[in-house]
Homo-oligomer: A and B are copies of this chain.
Amino acid sequence: MKTYLDCIPCFFRQVLEGSRISRATPKQQKQIIDQFARKIPKIPLDASPPEIARIGYKLLRSVSLNGDPYHAIKQKSNRCALRLLGRLKEKVNTSKDRLFTAVELAIAGNIIDFGAKNNLNIEEELKRILTEENKFIDTQSIFHYRDFSRTLKKAGDILYLADNAGEVVFDRILIEEIKKKYPDKNIYYAVKGKPVINDALYEDAKTCGIDKTALVISNGTDAPGTVLALCSKEFKQIYKSADMIISKGQGNFESLSSEKRDIFFLFMVKCPVVAKETESKMGNIVLLYNRNHKGRIVKNKKTS
């Protein structure tokens, strides 16, 4: 997906909010904004939003003391989500279609996001997910579940692209469910190579216990998405050979939506531009099969 002009005001908002989370002084905040503004005229809009946002987040790291301004936030997200693990498992255990519920929960966990919305009360939001009884998808949601379960059945190697810290616990629920149903599947769980916003790193995957059911790998980059041109050779090999890709979050959708692979994008719609691009509404949860996308969004729901 290319960058829309509407993304530009949003990049500035993200850079400003990020500079505050990085505890930059007001003078430093202005300097970061100025540096980012100087780069804008040099950026072609056929780059995807994560490619451009990456430039802003790189500037933030330069003022952050530990190079990872969102570290404490990520740890908190992991703790909050881990506290919910038992209840999430129970939700799957008591559901009629375990895999379907696990998919729903994995997408609902995408509510944790500091790029699109940073004033989030993680604990409150996550609790809300658990109390909302099957209200995640409605008749307007894009939910290519039939394609998802069919593709999953056939796939040998699955590449699961992580999004945010904390959300990893919700991914774990889905991955454990897949492994329960298909123990022979080989699942790679890809995190970011360097800190960017609150995106999950190796330590988050480990803290959330995903390393017990999947092989955690790094994509080798610091882009808030999967910008293939910047990813490591090792990652690209797995990306190329995987039979199915499960991609979490808007950032991964924005950077991979034009790819010709079998990708299932699982995310919550958090900005008007992605809402427009996917013909969805803000706040919708989406399970989008890229082969159904681009002019022929098929809204197939849960299969019987």
Contact = CB atoms under 8 A, between A and B. Distances in A.
A16 B8 CA distance: 9
Given A38-B38, A38-B41, A33 B16 contact: no
Interface residues of A, number: 19
A interface secondary structure, majority: helix
A229 interface: no
A45 interface: yes
A29 interface: yes
A33 B5 contact: yes
A5 B12 CA distance: 10
A130 interface: no
Contact of A8 (B33, B35, B41): B33
A166 B13 CA distance: 32
A5 B26 contact: yes
B30 A45 contact: yes
Contacts of A5: 16, 26, 29-30, 33
Contact of A12 (B8, B29, B34, B38): B8
A86 interface: no
B12 A9 contact: yes
Nearest to A20: B5
A37 interface: yes
Contact of A6 (B16, B40, B41): B16
A26 B45 CA distance: 11
A10 interface: yes
Interface in A1-31: 5-6, 8-10, 12-13, 16, 26, 29-30
Contacts of A38: 37-38, 41
Given A5-B33, A8-B12, 8 more contacts: A8-B16, A9-B9, A9-B10, A9-B16, A34-B40, A34-B41, A38-B38, A38-B41
Interface of A: 5-6, 8-10, 12-13, 16, 26, 29-30, 33-35, 37-38, 40-41, 45
26 contacts: A5-B16, A5-B26, A5-B29, A5-B30, A5-B33, A6-B16, A8-B12, A8-B16, A8-B33, A9-B9, A9-B10, A9-B12, A9-B13, A9-B16, A12-B12, A30-B45, A33-B40, A34-B40, A34-B41, A35-B41, A37-B37, A37-B38, A37-B40, A37-B41, A38-B38, A38-B41
